[in-house]
Amino acid sequence: MGGTAERGHGGTGGAAGPSVPTYDVEGGAGFYFLVDPRTRDIRGTLVDLGDGWWRCRTPRGDTREVFVPSNVTEPWKNAAERVGGS
């Protein structure tokens, strides 16, 4: 698979507004949190499933799986950027 892919289900949010929130990413060893930089509340999670797939709980409550190609140097960051505003 040469590009990025995504699959997801569930969710409670509507369309993204004009401003997309940004989150700090904390963790390691295949498990990361999206953390609100102001309140330090956990807003989402990222779990490395292997073979380029990441399972993500987005800030809106969706569960999504995203594919990050092996040539991406920081796959956790790529996954976080893709689901952080969702």
**Rounded Cα distance, 50 and 40, in Å:** 28
Q: Which residues of the chain have pLDDT under 70?
A: 1-21, 85-86
Q: In sequence order, what are the residues at sequence separation of 6 or more whose Cβ sits closer than 8 angstroms to the Cβ of residue 33?
A: 25, 26, 27, 42, 44, 45, 46
Residue 5: predicted pLDDT: 53
Residue 13: predicted pLDDT: 39
To the question of pTM greater than 0.85 for the whole model, the response is: no
CA geometry: angle 65, 24, 75, nearest 5 deg: 40
Q: What count of other Cβ atoms lies within 10 Å of the Cβ of residue 47?
A: 15
